[in-house]
Amino acid sequence: MDISLKRVDTLRGAYPHFRPEIRCCALERGRSISFTRYKVSPPRITYPMALDRQAVERALAGMLPYVNYLRSIQGPIAHPILEGYQTRGCRFSLESTLDRVPTALMYSDRVVLRVPQGVAPDAYEVQRTAWYALKQVVGQEAKSYLPPLVRQLASRCGVGYRSITVKDMYSRWGSCSCDKRLNFSIYLMLWPEEYIEGVILHELTHLSVMDHGPRFWQLFSRYLGQDARAFTMRMKAHELEIPQIF
């Protein structure tokens, strides 16, 4: 089905004093309005191109997932980035500023979040700024950290591949093409070490078995050294320690 994006913008929604980041996509052949949330990317609203903006906002005001999302960012943000937050090679700190909007100062080994006076550090607007600073940090760290680890694990498993690409993928942590090209998300760096290796081993298993049948799970378990299905369920239940702004 051909999809044409009419526009990508931001909706105020049911709470006009907030302007959360939401991707809005008009679909040429769309039939209904949908609201989808992601862990590491702004929510996405899709709607029929024939509907005008006001009609979309009226419909969204009655959608429970959308309303719950807006409510969740009115108060303190869960898992905020505060003083001392640490990635593999970068530390976050806070400082007060007379500026009206929060900003982030990026250095090689640290990030300074400048928080306007009178604004709570765990407020949505501050944590949104913190998140995009964190995204830059993990993007840089992923490109230096993941390829060597993939090579190491591939050697251990005795498998070969054509290429490794690390990029901004928000809908999946990794992928493997039929021509043995591996792709990994920069956001993989947000996971504990065991889950990073688990995702890599998952994709390395696909070099031998493309589907998720019994043979895949048997081989994946052998690479992991533990039951792969149980590991996957445990990973899905793990909550990332990142600002819950999406």
- pLDDT score of 153: 98
Instruction: Collect the ranges in the chain with pLDDT lower than 50.
Output: 1-18
pLDDT of residue 14: 35
* pLDDT at res. 60: 86
pLDDT of residue 52: 84
**Pairing state between β 34-36 and 44-48:** antiparallel
As to burial, measured by CB atoms within 10 angstroms (0-12 exposed, 13-18 middle, 19+ buried), residue 45 is buried
> To which residue do tokens 């809908």 refer?
171
Helix residue ranges, H only, the chain: 53-61, 64-72, 124-157, 193-206, 214-224, 228-237
Cα–Cα distance for residue pair 156/206, rounded to 1 Å = 15
The token pair that represents 147 in the structure block: 């390829």
Q: What is the rounded distance in angstroms from the CA atom of residue 60 to the CA atom of residue 14?
A: 8
* CA dist 124 → 75, 79, 128, 230 (Å): 8, 12, 6, 35
Whole-structure pTM value: 0.83
Whether residue 60 contacts residue 11, with contact meaning beta carbons closer than 8 Å, is answered with yes
Q: How far is CA 154 from CA 150, 169, 223, 225, in A?
A: 6, 22, 10, 15
Q: 45-82: per-residue pLDDT in tens?
A: 999 988 888 888 888 888 898 889 988 888 899 999 99
Is 40 buried (19+), middle (13-18) or exposed (0-12) by CB count in 10 A?
buried
Task: Answer for the pair 96, 115: CB distance below 8 angstroms, yes or no.
Answer: yes
pLDDT of 85 reads 96
The single residue listed with the structure tokens 């239940």 is 237
The pLDDT value given to residue 19: 64
Q: Report the SS3 class of residue 15.
A: coil
- The residue with tokens 């298993």 is 205
Distance separating alpha carbons of residues 48 and 31, to the nearest angstrom: 6
Residue holding tokens 């992928």?
Answer: 175
